[in-house]
Chains A and B, each alone.
Chain A
Amino acid sequence: MLTITNLRLKIGEMRILNGVNFSVAPGEKLGIIGPNGSGKTTLFNCISGFNIAQTGKIVFRNRDITHLAPSKRAGLGIGRVFQNFGIFREMTVMENIQLALEANHRSVIFPWSKRNRQNKEKSLEFLATVGLDNRADEKAGSLSGGQMRLLEITRAIAFGAELFLLDEPTAGVSPKMKVQIEHSLKKLHDLNKTVLIIEHDINFIQQLCDRIIVLDLGRVMLDGSSEEVRNDPRLQEIYFGTNGHGAPEHSEGQPRIAAAV
């Protein structure tokens, strides 16, 4: 499904990605963890096209997408859930879903058209799956943080993405909402979608993913099953800096990992 080979990215004098290599099979759920600043979000930016790597190659469904524009990559089936909420707050909840349907070859030219009516009905169906159909006409900005996440994940499903890039989908949401998000993500499993998920909470990621990679200093340091990675002593080194880098700088990512390891 996705193969990343020797991906390197330097922004200014900072080497963000330093030769990333891994591949993901269709339907696989891959968790990505690593201290803050390890290059996780930048890796997602490279896959979705917001950053273009200086060297290396990204192949998605047998097509080299390394230099493709973000909108073209999205058109090939790469969906993204952003770390800092990618919903359109000024639009209604339903419009967020409508846009996903319309952007994916169902654009509406006349508001009175049958397609527009169908898109609205379909949007409501998608919203009903996460219990947001009763808030369809409200502004998306009025939703709680967790509901925004649900909306964003639902939007990516409505868009018809095959590969989901989820950047900390449970960050800043209540424990109750976290359970709902987890349910929503399990749906991706049922739909046999391929998922790459960045998370700090290793317990959460272990429930969802078949495999975990640990990123540090822009490189894949560990790659294996959740159990293997969790029991690998190098994980503690990476997070606690016993290999000579990082501990104080990576404070935000530590506590949850530390508790979980």
Chain B
Amino acid sequence: MDYLIHLAILVGIYLILAQSFNIVFGLGRMFNLAHIAVYAIGAYTTALLSTNLQMSFWICIPASMIISALFALLIGAISFKLDHDYFAIGSLAFSSVVTAVLINWKSLTRGVLGITGIPRPEVLGIDFSDNTNFLFLLSIFVAAVLISVGIIFKITFARCLRAQAEHSHAARSLGVNLVRLRTNAFIISSAYAGLAGAFFSYYINYIDPSSFGLHEMVFVLSIVIIGKPGSFWGVTAATFFLVLLPEPLRFLSISPSILGPMRQLLYSLILFGVVFWKRKTLFPVERSV
């Protein structure tokens, strides 16, 4: 049972992370490879506030979301100067800078040693140290995120994002302000990623920079690509599929040193297959005047 609860918690955290990435990448086709960096910023914010300052859940969660959203402004600034592939490289550079800071600002982050002893939250007198309780708390937030993202996908904001992804000139000729639109997309998406990071931090009780590497970005990217970028239900289903996919491998008598790489290999093969199969429609070329 504990194992199933553990899996449900992982699915919950990745649902928030993948759907948040689905807003910028799925709807807006902005190849933001710094998404995992804002997830890390959210995780570190909660870790630092709850361990060093013993801040409550009600401060840590909004703080993680706000600080991640503030960093999104920097990513937004990159997106206004760089387009398409160049933005992907620029955002990757941003992500590398964040990782370098997490590793080297030892007085704050304890570098590669990471932050240990992150306490589980206590909300309204309820202790969430127990995984079942924690899953209940997480489920409330996951439901709120899924409902709000589901709404976002059906309103003007989403239509504008999809329009600018396809033909930014035509979108602007309909009065769409690209700077404001993209900034809002990065802010919303990063705030959700910060929330996912905060829950990750609370759940694992320990974080270090290795949890937020490129492999994690590739995993989230795989979820969105396999689920179909811009598809709410597709990405939801793909999150379940990809998080749970390697689990049966655990029941095979394979050494853990082989199991890890096998999992990565499995993801890579599926990702490669989908990209190859959908190569003509996955990344439509943006049209211009």
Contact = CB atoms under 8 A, between A and B. Distances in A.
Interface of A: 41, 45, 48-50, 69-72, 74-75, 78-80, 82-91, 95, 98-100, 102-104, 107-111, 116, 155, 159
A-B pairs with lowest CB-CB distance, top 8: A86-B170, A111-B154, A107-B156, A70-B172, A74-B175, A102-B156, A80-B173, A103-B174
A135 B177 CA distance: 29
A154 to B, nearest CB: 13
Nearest to A140: B166
The winner among B160, B171, B284 for most chain A CB atoms within 10 A is B171
A228 to B, nearest CB: 31
Nearest to A80: B173
Nearest to B174: A103
Contacts of B173: 48, 70, 74, 78-80, 82, 86
Nearest to B169: A50
7 contacts: A71-B177, A82-B167, A98-B159, A99-B156, A108-B155, A111-B154, A159-B174
B106 interface: no
A90 B283 CA distance: 12
The winner among A91, A98, A110, A111 for most chain B CB atoms within 10 A is A111
Contacts of B53: none
A100 B174 contact: yes
B1 interface: no
Interface string B126-170: 000000000000000000000000010011110110110011011
Contact of B159 (A41, A71, A74, A102): A102
B215 to A, nearest CB: 30
A173 B157 CA distance: 33
B166 to A, nearest CB: 5
A99 B160 contact: yes
A102 B163 CA distance: 12
Nearest to B166: A88
A117 B118 CA distance: 48
Contacts of B156: 99, 102-103, 107-109
A108 B156 CA distance: 5
A90 B166 contact: yes
A135 to B, nearest CB: 18
